[in-house]
Chains A and B, each alone.
Chain A
Amino acid sequence: MKLLRWTLAVGLIGAMGAVHAEEKADPNLARNLAATCANCHGTDGKAVAGSGAEALAGTDKAKLMQKLMDFRSGAKPATIMHQISKGYTEAQLELVAAYFAARK
């Protein structure tokens, strides 16, 4: 548990380094942004088993970030994620990816 907390803290600090000062001041920003994904991907990225939605909890951060950026650029075809990912800045997506990577 201690290790997990430490990992999470490091992950958050790392992610926050990438965003500007105003956003850095809000310790809940990553949590709040990630919560906007829950309607389709489950609370904290834990999708309902068998629903067919991609569970995001515990996904490697770099992998998730790459995927989101590919949706955003159009490199990765999608039904809807190419439209939704464009609504978030790269810094916001970094926070979201780090948050889900830290969920177990």
Chain B
Amino acid sequence: MWNRREFLKGAALAGGVVALPGLSGCAMGSKARGHVVVVGGGFGGATVAKYLRMWSQMGVDVTLVERNPQFISCPISNLVIGGDKQMADITMSYDGLRNTWGVKVLQDTVTAVDAGARKVTLASGGVLSYDRLVLSPGIEFMYDQVPGLETEAARDTVLHAWKAGAQTVALRKQLEDMKDGGVYALSIPKAPYRCPPGPYERACLVANYLQKTKPKSKVLVLDANEEITSKKGLFTKAFEKYKGILEYRPNSELREVDAASRTAVLEFDKVKADVLNVVPPQRAGDIAAKSGIKLINNRWVDIDWLSFESVNTPGVHVIGDAIFPAPTMPKSGHMANQHAKVTAAAIINLLAGEAPSSTPLVMNTCYSFVDSKNVIHVSSVHLYDAAKKTVMPVQGAGGVSAAANELEGKYALSWARNIWADMLV
């Protein structure tokens, strides 16, 4: 068990080496004190850990529990699958959070939450006490909806690559090993799922790779939705560029998989592929469901939009892809980062005995590559609506690119470097 004194010692040591990135230029001190445990070190969790430290002028102690030793980014991972980037380009250390911000980063897994006692249990056997808990658990795949993917062996053959890491590497390898004239089939679940434009970007980047290296091959996009769910006009244009190699099939919900023969079974059809890539339907990460917090549709966490606190479990805040989204709000890394900042601000207020801000605003930008260089975006701004008690898109704001272009290709990579630094450095 980590006791508070031990924690403070560690934080003080870390604070000693660093200067005061959070202090410079700060006119107001922070009264907030307490210990926040953050579960999950992705776009949401890493950001909330850093901003809690920064905005409390190091007054709030933060422990981040993350199962992986390093951060691997989902955004930009489709470029690894397409062969344009390497894993090293999307892999980053948690040392910045440790050394610059004095966050205690534990490589571990939270197995249980006792919200009444304000304690979490770790897989390693330890117990952490908290004043406030932030769950940023991402998504869990609903494999029960995809018969044929019950076994590990099947899942090693039919990959999702929808959580960046070993699966990203494995999918790239399958594509490299595929013969010229082979079929790559990508199954997209019904919305909502993580990263709405992501599957279409992947289809483009795989088609781009195959067009250059194995031009007799095919890309089959099997979409459970009735149409492209994000940047429809722009992706439709991009798909035209891959005419002859890429085929888009809407209303193609996956019913079953035969992993051994890499066959996707649809309602009226069977598609045999050489590389079968299935993005399964999704729900909030397991720890959310196991914590007794209220879910909507048994899938996504119901939160109070002023603080991202669970509506039925005080002291537990949930951010990122795991929450039931507000109208038109995408499940994106960018949005998780924005959730994190609203939550950090709210928690610091709450720990200081003050109410959270009554006017939270978040915004989103998703860049998608349609080939190695050309990019399209979708953007939106969302503001809290006190009457509706949710966050609503600001009318007249946001939009999409006029057309795919190289300048936004540069901006997309710049976005990645800046958001990674915003959460980790």
* Range class of the A interface residue count: 35 or more
Known: A52-B411, A84-B363, A88-B381. A79 touches B401 (CB 8 A): yes
Residues of B within 8 A of A53 (CB): 411, 414-415, 417-418
In the complex, are the beta carbons of B27 and A48 less than 8 A apart?
Answer: no
Known: A9-B27, A87-B380. A80 touches B365 (CB 8 A): yes
Q: Which residue of A lies closest to B54 (CB)?
A: A43
Per-residue CB proximity of B203-226 to A under 8 Å, as 1/0?
000000000000000000000000
Taking CB atoms and an 8 Å cut-off, the chain A residues in 1-54 that contact chain B are 4-5, 8-9, 12, 22-23, 26-29, 31-33, 35-36, 38-44, 47-48, 51-53
Known: A84-B398, A87-B394. A38 touches B418 (CB 8 A): yes
Q: Which residue of B lies closest to A47 (CB)?
A: B418
Q: Which residue of B lies closest to A39 (CB)?
A: B419
Taking CB atoms and an 8 Å cut-off, the chain B residues in 389-425 that contact chain A are 394, 396-399, 401, 405, 407-408, 410-411, 413-415, 417-419, 421-422, 425
In the complex, are the beta carbons of A86 and B27 less than 8 A apart?
Answer: no
Which of B25, B365, B410 lies in contact with A8, CB distance below 8 A?
B25
Known: A52-B411, A79-B405, A84-B379. A22 touches B358 (CB 8 A): yes
In the complex, are the beta carbons of B397 and A83 less than 8 A apart?
Answer: yes
In the complex, are the beta carbons of A36 and B397 less than 8 A apart?
Answer: no
In the complex, are the beta carbons of B397 and A102 less than 8 A apart?
Answer: no
In the complex, are the beta carbons of B359 and A23 less than 8 A apart?
Answer: yes
Known: A9-B27, A86-B394. A79 touches B363 (CB 8 A): no
In the assembled complex, the Cα of A104 lies from the Cα of B349 at a distance in Å of: 25
Known: A79-B411, A80-B365. A28 touches B399 (CB 8 A): no
In the assembled complex, the Cα of A88 lies from the Cα of B342 at a distance in Å of: 16
Residues of B within 8 A of A42 (CB): 418, 421-422
Stretch of B116-124, B323-331, B333-341 at the chain-chain interface: B333-341
Chain A nearest CB, measured from B364 CB (Å): 9
In the complex, are the beta carbons of A27 and B28 less than 8 A apart?
Answer: yes
In the complex, are the beta carbons of B394 and A40 less than 8 A apart?
Answer: no
In the complex, are the beta carbons of A41 and B357 less than 8 A apart?
Answer: no
Which of B361, B407, B413 lies in contact with A79, CB distance below 8 A?
B407
3 smallest beta-carbon distances between A and B, as pairs: A87-B381, A87-B397, A86-B397
| B contacts, CB < 8 Å to A | 24-25, 27-28, 50-51, 54-55, 334, 337-338, 341-342, 345, 349, 357-363, 365, 377, 379-383, 394, 396-399, 401, 405, 407-408, 410-411, 413-415, 417-419, 421-422, 425
Apart from A83-B399, A84-B379, 16 more pairs, CB < 8 Å: A8-B27, A26-B357, A31-B345, A32-B341, A40-B414, A43-B54, A43-B422, A47-B418, A80-B401, A80-B408, A84-B365, A86-B394, A87-B363, A87-B383, A88-B381, A104-B25
What are some 26 contacts across the A-B interface (CB < 8 A)?
Answer: A4-B25, A8-B25, A8-B27, A22-B358, A38-B418, A38-B422, A39-B334, A40-B414, A40-B418, A48-B421, A52-B410, A52-B411, A53-B411, A53-B417, A79-B405, A79-B407, A80-B379, A83-B379, A83-B398, A84-B365, A84-B381, A84-B397, A87-B363, A88-B361, A103-B25, A104-B24
